[in-house]
Amino acid sequence: MLRITGDELVAKLGKSGENARKGLQKGIEKACLSIVDEAKRNCTPGQSPYDSMYFPSKTRAGQTGAPFDTGMLRRSITSMVSSDDKTISGAVGTNVEYAVYVHEGTSKMQARPFITDAIRAKRGEIEDIMKKYGGDGLKETETVSESDIGASEDTGE
């Protein structure tokens, strides 16, 4: 017969839940960093998917449609992961004032959605990351053994 006390079970399941949470948070951090890298690539001349775009205002020789002049926009792209008791969330963005106009476009400039395109390009990788890190945390939860939760064989004593 298997004997498990409630306090022992709650303690072990709480530890397993924390392991799953840590795994998910690490996965979200890695996914955000992957998106940041791709978004920065999208803002790099010679690597940007927007290089072939024509912008009449770009009159200097060698300039392309990549959203790059000084490099400030590219340098400003960052990520942040936050969590509370119920959620873990990640965000990728920039605090550069003109970024929204580059990303969304204007009536006189075609959009170059460097972050949205980065998310689309990295979707498969993000899914793999979340399976790996989310799965690792969940596996930890699933592999709680009887000995881990204070189970013992009843010897009839």
Output the tens digit of pLDDT for each of the chain's 157 residues.
Answer: 455 555 655 566 566 777 778 888 899 999 999 999 999 998 887 777 776 665 545 544 444 556 777 889 999 999 999 988 788 889 999 999 999 998 998 888 888 889 999 999 999 999 899 888 876 544 443 443 444 434 334 444 4
Q: Of 112, 88, 82, 90, nearest to 100 (Cα)?
A: 112
Neighbours of 62 (CB within 10 A): 7
- Its pTM stands at 0.71
- 132 vs 49: CA distance, rounded Å: 29
